[in-house]
């Protein structure tokens, strides 16, 4: 499936200095540069910036993280942990990329059919 401009646009942003507590459901892309506590569900992509801190379980198609994650990631396509990422939790996904420098404490299961 080819990605269009609309599919790559950020649907929701939790900006630096902002805090959100609760359940966040969306279709599309969520960018977190602030603090998030709760659950995230999307059929799209979750981007966690360097300043982002999430205490949550994430269910998404793609997750790209550069900040701090305390919780589990269930991605149906791919997880990318950038060098600045600090993660405590488990990952279940068909594909994972971890850059040199990632701090990861947990288990990672490469599952071709992530749920």
pLDDT over 90 at 91, yes or no: yes
DSSP string, 48-104: E-TT-EEEEEEEEEEEEE-SEEES-EEEEEEEEE-TT-EEES-EEES-EEE-TT-EE
| Token pair recorded at residue 37 | 């506590």
pLDDT over 50 at 6, yes or no: no
Is there a contact between 111 and 97 (Cβ–Cβ < 8 Å)? no
Q: What is the model's pLDDT at position 13?
A: 85
CA distance 6 to 110: 30
pLDDT tens readout for residues 40-63? 999 999 999 999 999 999 999 999
pLDDT over 80 at 4, yes or no: no
Mean pLDDT calculated for residue range 63-68: 98
Q: What is the model's pLDDT at position 9?
A: 63
């Amino acid at each position: 499936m080819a990605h269009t401009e609309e599919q790559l646009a950020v649907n929701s942003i939790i900006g630096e200095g902002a805090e959100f507590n609760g359940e966040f459901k969306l279709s599309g892309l969520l960018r977190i540069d602030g603090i998030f506590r709760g659950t995230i569900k999307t059929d799209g992509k979750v981007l966690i910036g360097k300043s982002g801190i999430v205490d949550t379980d994430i269910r998404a198609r793609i997750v790209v993280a550069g900040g701090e994650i305390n919780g589990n990631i269930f991605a149906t396509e791919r997880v990318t942990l950038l060098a600045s990422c600090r993660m405590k939790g488990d990952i279940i996904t068909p594909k994972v990329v971890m850059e040199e420098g990632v701090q990861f404490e947990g288990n990672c299961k490469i599952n071709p059919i992530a749920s």
